[in-house]
Every structure is written in C-alpha cells, then in structure tokens.
A and B are shown apart, each in its own frame.
Chain A
Amino acid sequence: MSKGNDSRKHQNTANMKVVEGSYAVAHAVMCCRPDVISAYPITPQTHIVENLSQMVADGELDSEFLTVDSEFSALSVLIGASACGARSYSSTTSQGLALMYEVLYNVSGMRLPIVMNVANRALGAPLNIWNDQQDSVGARDVGWLQIYVEDVQEAVDATLQAYKIAEDAKIRTPIMVCMDGFILTHVYEPVELLDKELAKEFLPKFMPADILDPAHPKTFGAFADPFTYTEFRYQQFEAQQKALEKIELVAREFEETFGRNYGGLIDSYHAEDAEIILLTMGSVIGTIKDAIDAMRSEGIRVGLIKVRSYRPFPVSALRKALKDASVIAVIEKDVSIGNEAGLVTDLKAAFYNSSIRIPIIGFTAGLGGRDITIKDIRKIVEKAEAARKGIKSEFEFLNLREEIL
C-alpha cells in the first residue's frame, strides 16, 4: 500500500502512450486472450467493444466476437461459452447492467469466471447517460466480485488481474471491473499498455476441469431444492472470502511483473497520521488527492482510503486502516433510495461489532454526472471536522440544488 506518494512510482514513462481509456482497456482485454467476447452497444461503454471488434477484424485478436440482440443475450452467450471452457469477456453499463440482472445471478451461481468492465453510468428515470455508480453498487449482492478503479492505468491493470482472480480454482467467481463512464472511458491520458508476452506469463491459459463435453457428459444448471440451495450460496460466500486474500496476492504478483501496485483491497493516501479520513471509490480519487495535497500544505491532517474491492467487502483491512481516525467521511456516487448509500452503510456495519467508535458521515455526490470539485471536497472536510464534535447530519446529498426542488 502506498503511504502518501504516487503508487505508480515504478511506472516506466518511456513506454507510455496517450490513448483513450476505452482503447487502453480493449488493449488489456486483448492481452488476456479471451476466446469469446459478446456485448451490446450502450453509451459510454461502446468504445471498448468497438476497439475489440476492430482488433478481431484486423487479426490482432483471435476471439469469437458476437453481436447480439441485447445485454441480456450478451452475458447469456458467455454462459454457454464459459461452460465450454472459454475465457469470456463483456462490458456494459447502466441500463445494460440492469437488463443483465437475472443473468448476473446465474453467472455467479454457476461459478463461471467471466470478466466484465462496467463503464459506470446513472440509471433512468430520468434518462441520464453520465457517470455515477448507482448501476454496479446496486448490483453488489449478485455474487460477482467488484473492483473499482481510479484511473485508466488502473483499469488496464485491474482487467488483467481480474481474470487471474476469477479463474482461480478456489474462487471461480465472475468479476466486474468498474470504471467511471466518460471520465475514464473517454479520457485521453498517458498509459502504459500491457506487454502481451508479460501478460501471457502472468495469466496462463484457462483450463477448467468441468466443461460441456460429450466424452464426459455433465449436467450444468440443475435446480436445487431447500435441502441443497443454501449450500450453493454458502460456497459462493466462502469463495468471496477467499478472494480477499487472492486479490491482495494478485496485486503483489502484478507488481512483481509490471512494477505497479494499487494496494489490492484498499489503497491509501496520507492516511497514516490523518485525523479526517475520506473514504471513496473510483475516479473522484484524483480530485481528492489534489484537495488533500492543498489541505495538507495548510496543516489540515486529512487523508484518503480508497476502496478497490467493494465485493468482497474488505472488513478487516478497513478496520485496520481506519481505526485511528477521528472522523470518517464517505463520498460515493450512489444512493440506496430509502436508506443512505451502499458504501457508508457497509462501513458502519464493518465497525459495529468492533471496538472502533469513530463518527461516520456519508455523502452522495456526483449523481448523473455532476462534477465533484476540489471545493466540494473541502466542504466535506469542513463538515467532517464539525462532526467530530457531534454529528448533525449523518447522510446528505452534496450540493443539492434547493432552488429547483
């Protein structure tokens, strides 16, 4: 875990290229050598699969690329492919993810290690194509692992890591690599694209033991009655707990091969001696780091804990990283309509049966693509400072425009 400096300190700038985020991710997918790719067009995810289909068209990538009738079918195609032993890939967002909902449970329940990028976007109504994270946070209980990335480089690296985590025989669980739509999918920034050969060494061929094979007929997708159903879910739960360790391990292995590290389950920035800790996921971290730099120079002891792995939720890691803070402010781009928001609720639950007693306040921000600025972060820090003396508002919508209500 980094201790306040740039976690990409080993980055080889000589190999960096300025590319669009979606291209960088598509390139990473190519380096993972998927057998089957299937996706349906939806903004802001489309550039990823457009790039992939071009790679297939140009012979750069030897994959079966299926254009389908819906996101529902896109993910369903991968169920069949994965059951035949295919390394499988899709990407989607928002309404597309919502349309996949039934299939999401099926993929995880059948323990098919599919990797999918989610280009996070708001959900309608009202229709909104811009970024927030309501889509994937809303799907936190579907049995998939979820990694949230901060920038394009991390999106690239997490995509490769994702297959290694998902395909582990003890885990066998699908993963969403969640990246903020537009902010990361459409940005052009310097990225070190993966080296194909290194990626091949890092991620060996996917060789599952159980596949659809007439020589060894097996039944996939049987129904389970009350005598056996619970144990299926328990095994999924157990696999996610095992993934806690695996995600950390893969992060270390990745660093050994590629020289970059994002901290596995969580990462931190000036958190060690911080009194006020901000907790969040995704691309807003860039802004927060700038805000922290400015506030630190003014003597404000503020730091950041970034949640990379939202599922499995890293309870122990968070307890350890946050136990010495005086106050925690959670900033998240989602809302659980009816009860605050996902991350803040999960964090409170993680602390309740521990000895940690720190005030926690939550902010939903950046919904439907509304910018979160350095000024906003300062405002949150001020509110957190005030909450040390007593919480006045446990949860709020940041920058609510009262004048249009």
Chain B
Amino acid sequence: MEKSLLAPGHRACAGCAMPTTIRLVLDAAGPNTIVVSPTSCLEVTTTPFPESAWCVPWIHSLFENAAAVASGVEVMLKRRHLDTNLVIIGGDGSTFDIGMGSNSGMFERGHKMLYVCYDNEAYMNTGVQRSGSTPFCVHTTTTPAGTQSLGNPRPKKDMPAIALAHRVPYVATASVAYPVDLRRKVKAALQVNGPSYVQVNAPCITGWTFEAGYMIELARLAVETGLWPLTEYVNGELVGVKKVRRPKPVEEYLKAQGRYKHLFKKTDGADMVKQIQALADANIAKFKLVD
C-alpha cells in the first residue's frame, strides 16, 4: 500500500476511529485533493503549529463554517478549471448542529464537494457533551445518567434525511468497520457533479468508553444490530443497503460501552434497552436489512 496521506505522529487517542476514517477517505480520494475541516478533535490532533499530519492541502477556519469555506474553495477550483477533489471532513457537532446553516447553504447551492462526517455521536473534543447526533439514552457529560435521568432523552437527528431534503445527489452512511464499502462510497461520491454527503460511524474510545482495540468490532456491531444501517442514496433513491444476515440483539452492542452502562444497573434500564431494540428493528424493517 502506498504511503498514507495522513502522516503518522498525529496526536489522536490510541483506539480512535477518526484517523482511520481520514486515512480511508484520503486513500480513496488520492493526492489531488483539498481538505477543509471545521474545528474538532481532528484539527487539534493533526495540526499543532508548526507541525501538520496532512500531506494534502488542508484548511481549517472555524467550528461552524467549513461548508462555507469549502464553497469559496470550490468556486475558485471551477474558476481555474481545476479538476481537484474537494472534501470536507468534520465531526458530528459541526455537521449536525453548529454548522447546520452553512451546510444547508452549501447543499442548496449545489457545490461540487464531498462532505464526510466522522460521527462519534457527541462533542468529544470538549469532553463528551451531547450533540444533535447523540443517540437515545446515551450518557454524556451534559446528559448524564442519574437518579432522575437515563441519559440523552432524545433520539439521534436524521442528518442523511436532511441532506436528502436538500436534493443532495449522493448520500450514504458508512462505517469505519467496513473499509472497502467506505472507500467505494467516497469514490462514488467524488464522481458526483454536485454535493455529496457520507456519514461514517466512528467510535470514540474516551466518549463511548470501550476496551482499547475494540473500536472496529464495536462499529461492526452497530451495523450488525441494525442501529447503524449502511445505506446509499443516488438522486434521492435508495440504491443499496448492506444486508445483515442474522441481526444481533442491541444489548450486545450496548453492553460493550460505558456510555450505556447505566441501562444495565438501573431497574428501568431494561425498558430503555427494549426501546433501543425497537429503533434497531425499525431500521431493519425500513431498509429491509434482512432478506
């Protein structure tokens, strides 16, 4: 395999899915690529001045403006007739919440770029606070489990549906545990003459609390339980899903993570596990994950 376009020596945690995700995205995109990133773990672990782990041109401005910054890059690439890939790589906080305005603007203006969200389901860079992407019942530092709380009271925001509502021509979900699928989707997205959105499940070892070395297995469990369906939409039509042969119970996924451990200690936790199973079952039915 060729040299990675994300150099080693970055400062991400051991067992973090983010650098692996970036490497897979860059492998697929190649060196003729410009990356724009919002403020995130990614930014602070890969670019401590005067060092940089990036072997492609990379720009960071603010937390909520990556899509607008990238729009400015895109019009200049077009103006100069350059056939360069343009990829945003950002976390779920900027993608789902604070950057929503500029994301919406970029989607509806139809700029040619790929937006990759590495989704670790909370604000990890600031210490595991709830984001719009945090799933139901997850313990975060701002939705803590407690005597009166079972964690995050709301389900995860459906960001791919929001992208689809903007008529984004290519929308997909992917997982760090399925690298072939992820690379293929990145390549497909980069062929689109317009915006594309790929949301990658990327477990966070400190925020989710799991055994070091278990990251890929955990991401795979999310898919195998039906909680993270791997989907692909072209021009608004669902064109592909990753089938799940025998769906695993969500309990197996939840038990492996500290962020759900309160559900197995509290008496009313069992009911919540049932509700989470119902969310997985709904995905299995909606996307016909089982043949």
Contacts and interface: CB of A to CB of B under 8 A. Distances in A.
Interface of A: 35-36, 38, 64, 66-70, 72-74, 76-86, 88, 102-103, 106, 110, 212-214, 216-225, 228
B48 A77 contact: no
A160 B64 CA distance: 31
B50 A228 contact: yes
Contacts of B57: 212-214, 216-220
Contact of A36 (B51, B62, B65, B72): B72
Contacts, number: 150
Contacts of B80: 84
B56 A77 contact: no
Given A68-B102, A81-B72, A223-B48, 18 more contacts: A64-B75, A66-B71, A67-B109, A68-B105, A72-B68, A76-B72, A77-B68, A77-B75, A79-B65, A80-B76, A106-B62, A213-B57, A214-B31, A214-B32, A214-B56, A219-B47, A221-B60, A228-B50
Given A72-B101, A73-B101, A223-B47, A79 B72 contact: yes
B73 A222 contact: no
Interface string B29-59: 0011110100000011001111110111111
Interface of B: 31-34, 36, 43-44, 47-52, 54-62, 64-65, 67-80, 84, 101-102, 104-105, 109
B102 A73 contact: yes
Contact of B48 (A38, A69, A213, A225): A225
Nearest to A228: B49
A70 B72 contact: no
Given A217-B57, A222-B47, A103 B62 contact: yes
Contact of A82 (B51, B72, B74, B102): B72
10 contacts: A35-B79, A36-B79, A69-B102, A72-B68, A79-B61, A79-B68, A214-B31, A214-B84, A217-B55, A225-B48
B62 A219 contact: no
Nearest to A68: B105
A66 B109 CA distance: 9
A84 B60 contact: no
A86 B73 CA distance: 9
A217 B58 contact: yes
A220 B60 contact: yes
Contacts of B48: 222-223, 225
B75 A66 contact: yes
A85 B59 CA distance: 13
Contacts of B52: 219, 222
A77 B72 contact: yes
Contact of B68 (A80, A83, A221): A80
